[in-house]
Amino acid sequence: MSSTPPVPPVTRAGSLPRTESRLAALDGLLFDLDGVLTPTAEVHMRAWSRLFNDFFAERGLDAYTDADYFEHVDGRPRYDGVRAMLGARGVTLPEGTDDDSADTETVRGLGNRKNAVFAAELAENGVQPYPGSVEFLDRAIALGVRVAVVSSSRNAVPVLEAAGLRDRFEVIVDGAIAAAEGIAGKPAPDTYLEGARRLGLTADDCVVVEDAQSGVEAGRRGAFGLVLGVDRGVGHQALIDFGADVVVDDLGEVTGALGPVRASSSPATAGSAAPRPAAPRGTVSPEARP
């Protein structure tokens, strides 16, 4: 049996000591949601499958498969995914409008039906957050770090509720807020900057935590204090290339880098939505920065 201590599994372009010192110094964490806190892609895949299985079966078309998902739907905006998938089966529907009900046989009606099926999937089966992400999040909260969710999804709040994480976050900037306020989406940095602003922090004070190329690019373009990539399949090098300072496979790898939990810290405060005093820890205050 070896007495060698386990090597921290952070071996990417960024170095662990540098990441540790920066994580311990920064005051805010801005989390992407889908793929960072929750494996939401699985819920979306089930919802698309329910939608198209029913739709194709009613018309005697070839059954919908996972391969269809990756070829025609994955990564596309919802209505684009509907249009592409229908086209692959030779089906053309009128485009319709965003207001079309879920019963309407239009591209946008089917897209809205998919959203309804997604909500039903969430309600019926929930979504389990990544354990390492919850560990990291709760350590940060216990240390007084301010936390926000910055997601392109209009379903961010129901997903957070289904995952049991809604109460952890005092600030949520989601797709609905971005649309209502005309904030440019990722890879523009604007939604992350809005998250920092709503926490009362600057970009330099904050860590962006992202699993998507567009998200780490937003972090780089916004000049955030640290861009922490989480590799759920994009690949370490791609995340580095697009803007991550360091990449991990699971946030649990860097929980310790946030710092030890103090004896006086209580996770019981984690559910509070009350604003925490800014910069309660660390030695780097905004005033001390150049």
What residues are annotated to the active site? Answer: 32, 34
Query: Distance between CA atoms of 201 and 207, rounded to whole angstroms?
Result: 11
What's the closest the beta carbon of residue 41 comes to Mg ion, in angstroms? Answer: 8
Query: Distance between CA atoms of 219 and 242, rounded to whole angstroms?
Result: 9
142 vs 149, beta carbon nearer Mg ion: 149
* Contact call for residues 172 and 157 (beta carbons, < 8 A): yes
- Comparing every residue's Cβ against Mg ion, the nearest one is 35
For binding to Mg ion (CB under 5 A), which residues are involved? 32, 34-35, 211-212
How are strands ordered across the β-sheet holding 28-31?
Answer: 171-173, 146-150, 28-31, 206-210, 226-230, 246-248
64 vs 169, beta carbon nearer Mg ion: 169
Per the omega criterion (within 30 degrees of 0), is the bond before 129 cis? no
* Contact call for residues 278 and 146 (beta carbons, < 8 A): yes
What's the closest the beta carbon of residue 40 comes to Mg ion, in angstroms? Answer: 8
Report the relative pairing of strands 146-150 and 28-31 from DSSP bridges.
Answer: parallel
108 vs 186, beta carbon nearer Mg ion: 186
8 vs 39, beta carbon nearer Mg ion: 39
What's the closest the beta carbon of residue 119 comes to Mg ion, in angstroms? Answer: 19
User: Nearest to residue 240, comparing CAs of 14, 37, 10?
Assistant: 14
The phi and psi torsions of 248 (rounded to 5 degrees) equal -125, 165
What's the closest the beta carbon of residue 32 comes to Mg ion, in angstroms? Answer: 4
